[in-house]
Structure 1
Amino acid sequence: MQENLNDLRAFVLVAQSGSFTKAGALLGVSTSALSHTIKGLEERLKIKLFHRTTRSISTTEAGEQLFQQLAPLLADIELKINELSLFRDTLKGKLRLNGSDHAFIFALWDKLQAFMEQYPEVELELTSEQKFSDIVAERFDAGIRLGADVEKDMIAVKIADDMQMCVVASPDYLAKNGTPKQIDDLAHHQCLRLRLPTSGGIMAWEFEQHGKTLKFHPQSQLIASSNRLLAKACLEGRGLLWLPKDSIAEELRQGLLVECLTEFSIRYDGYHLYYPNRRQNSPLFRALVEVLRA
């Protein structure tokens, strides 16, 4: 039996995402059309591939076996097609990257712009998330995370300088509440809190003192899941905020925010591009690595 390659690819995407809606969005088709495609595939194979409920889907035993066999084959086909770029005057294809707002906007935007200018026929898709994603299961070509957070079974290339953290506040807030001089002084301040998307906990603030890393657990009236939202609150005098210094460099330059506790600021190993080893043979991917490499 000769199956339509597009139908098999649709099956793999549904199995990977666990959702007809998500897979349909990736394929650019409606949920009902995708469901019809999978139903047709099941009828031709005479095998049930998915368990379906009103709330979720999951692969059957046969479906899981087919998925485990097909996923690497289809990935290899896509890679081989991209390698044909060697015979073109310019590279063409699609790259999907997973990272954070901070990585894309503040650390890498100029390099990404340069890549798009150099390779105008390449489609670049940037997915911004605070949580950690399985880049293989979700069909990303690569992920971008701080060096210490890179998965150990991946190839990693440093693509940005080390990240400097800082504590900032508005001049109005400091005039009303005083400026902290020591880390312990933070206990007497409103310290705007960031909710972590993966664990659901509150991000601890980290400082460096005498060569050791110290953690401070902030307290305040306001909690948010976005540093951009917390930065707005900080600008309006709602409290102190701990965040990457480059993300508020312009506000510091204009005097809209003031840096505190500079002698205790900590630096983290910069962003790395990480990816499975099968990607390194793609000319398109190698071009991306060369542009982003620090």
Structure 2
Amino acid sequence: MRRDELGDLTVFMTVAEEGNFTRAANRLGVSQSAVSHTIRRLEASLGFRVLNRTSRSVSTTDMGEKLIGALRPGLEQIETRIEELRSMGDTPSGLVRLTASATAVRFILWPVIMELVRDYPDIQVEINTNSRLADLAEGRFDAAVRLAEMVGPDLIAVPVGPAVEMAAVAAPTYLEQRGVPLHPADLDRHDCIVMRFGATSAAYDWEFERKGEEIVRKVSGPLLFNEAEFCVQAAREGYGICYVTLPEVAADIRAGRLRRVLSDWCEPFDGFHLCYSSRRQMSSALRLLIDRLRYRG
């Protein structure tokens, strides 16, 4: 294989991961036309198409998927060796790719990362915000920030925040009109603002616990979102009750924009953890980030 073909394959992997020529070009630091030219050259060299292109989207062909499956182990091995060499240096450096919910980014990651990249200019951090649980290997992420209950058994998890509790909240005007629920069963008579974490996943059922009694309610209402911040905004504007983590609405509660209900049914549980695969070599940059994020409570 020629050296330019290896570079072309890297461009192809980036386009496949991003699903978009423009985003891939931005990530690679080149023009969109350069990316398109590289893919055409690669397909001509291979003798088959690796991408399906439409005016709105890019997806891999069957042969493209097989090519990704063949390339990924080798590229991961190369990345591992490079990270091993980097870790021998005196100064942490390199790219750390993270996936996390917007809530985790806002309250856990950002306060630490803003100082990290200031202190270590050779470290670059990429954050992908997504409510669904992205696969680390598939997305080629170094780590994810997830609530403890959502960490898979094959991942190493490091606590990065205190215990968390959920909060059911609504605008005072809504509660004046519809009444205050005193038990989770009362939610059947209320408009609830629902979360759906993925386009094909079921809506999130609200989980409550008090003194060992657990109740799961399948709620419904006029609005469904895949991001908590939109649920909170809809609640502020009086469309119903939303159910999110307490930090996301603490300021609204203090300001009187939202009122908490069913608080006696929202017991604390293990909070956010940073998780990563034990099978992948850890870079010096990721090791430093974990050390700074680690919750020592």
Q: TM-score range by the shorter chain?
A: 0.7 to 0.9
Amino acid at match of 1:267: P
How many Å separate the matches in 1 of 2:235 and 2:19? 39
Q: CA RMSD in A?
A: 2.7
User: Which residue number corresponds to residue 102 of structure 1?
Assistant: 103
Amino acid at match of 1:91: P
User: Which residue number corresponds to residue 207 of structure 1?
Assistant: 208
Amino acid at match of 1:289: I
CA shift in 2, pair 1:52/1:120, >3 Å? closer
Instruction: Tell me the number of residue pairs that the alignment of Structure 1 and Structure 2 aligns.
Output: 292
User: Which residue number corresponds to residue 119 of structure 1?
Assistant: 120
Confirm whether residue 245 of structure 1 aligns to residue 246 of structure 2.
yes
Shift of 1:6: 1.9
Shift of 1:7: 1.8
> 1:119-174, CA deviations, whole angstroms, 9 ceiling, x for partnerless residues?
23211111111112222122221122112222332222222222210111222222
How many Å separate the matches in 1 of 2:239 and 2:69? 51
CA shift in 2, pair 1:123/1:198, >3 Å? same
User: Which residue number corresponds to residue 60 of structure 2?
Assistant: 58
Gap runs ≥5 in structure 2: none
Confirm whether residue 262 of structure 1 aligns to residue 257 of structure 2.
no
Q: How does 1:1-294 map to 2 (within 5 A)?
A: 1-4=1-4, 5-16=6-17, 20=21, 23-44=24-45, 47-48=47-48, 50=50, 52=52, 54=54, 57-59=59-61, 66-86=67-87, 88-294=89-295
In the TM superposition, structure 1's runs of 4+ consecutive aligned residues that sit over 6 Å from their partners are none
Judge conservation of contact 1:207–1:214 (CA < 8 Å) in 2: yes
Once structures 1 and 2 are overlaid, which stretch shifts more, 27-36 or 51-60? 51-60
How many Å separate the matches in 2 of 1:16 and 1:202? 27
CA shift in 2, pair 1:34/1:215, >3 Å? same
CA shift in 2, pair 1:237/1:83, >3 Å? same
Shift of 1:22: 5.2
Q: Could you tell me the percent identity over the aligned residues?
A: 35
Judge conservation of contact 2:87–2:283 (CA < 8 Å) in 1: no
Q: SS of the counterpart of 1:163?
A: coil
When normalised by structure 2's length, the TM-score is 0.84
Amino acid at match of 1:178: G
> 1:51-75, CA deviations, whole angstroms, 9 ceiling, x for partnerless residues?
64656543555x6565434323323
Judge conservation of contact 2:116–2:289 (CA < 8 Å) in 1: yes
CA shift in 2, pair 1:267/1:48, >3 Å? same
Shift of 1:207: 0.4
Amino acid at match of 1:74: L
Amino acid at match of 2:275: Y
Gap runs ≥5 in structure 1: none
Amino acid at match of 1:130: S
How many Å separate the matches in 2 of 1:60 and 1:218? 40
Judge conservation of contact 1:168–1:257 (CA < 8 Å) in 2: yes
Q: SS of the counterpart of 1:156?
A: strand
